[in-house]
Amino acid sequence: MGTILLQATAAVAEAESEGGFGLNLDIFQTNLINLAILVGVLVYFGRKVLINILNDRRSKIETEIQEAEQRTREAASALSEVQQKLTQAQAEAQRIRKAAEENAHVAQEAILARAAEDVKRLKETAAQDLNTQRERAIAQVRQQVVALALQKVESELRTGIADDAQHRLVDRSIALLGGASE
Distance from C-alpha of 67 to C-alpha of 80, rounded to nearest angstrom: 20
Could you list the mean pLDDT of each consecutive 10-residue stretch along the chain, which spans 182 residues?
Answer: 66 60 62 80 82 93 96 95 95 95 94 93 92 91 84 74 75 76 48
Residue 32: Cβ within 10 Å count: 14
Distance from C-alpha of 153 to C-alpha of 112, rounded to nearest angstrom: 60
Examine residue 173 and state whether it is found in any structural domain, yes or no: yes
Examine residue 165 and state whether it is found in any structural domain, yes or no: yes
What 8-state DSSP symbol labels residue 19?
T
Examine residue 76 and state whether it is found in any structural domain, yes or no: yes
Residue 126: Cβ within 10 Å count: 10
8 Å CB contact between 11 and 31: no
Distance from C-alpha of 32 to C-alpha of 151, rounded to nearest angstrom: 162
Expressed as residue numbers, the domain containing 159 is 2-177
Examine residue 167 and state whether it is found in any structural domain, yes or no: yes
Examine residue 182 and state whether it is found in any structural domain, yes or no: no
**Does the predicted TM-score (pTM) go above 0.85?**
no
Examine residue 71 and state whether it is found in any structural domain, yes or no: yes
Examine residue 133 and state whether it is found in any structural domain, yes or no: yes
Distance from C-alpha of 157 to C-alpha of 160, rounded to nearest angstrom: 5
Say how many domains are in the chain: 1
8 Å CB contact between 156 and 163: no
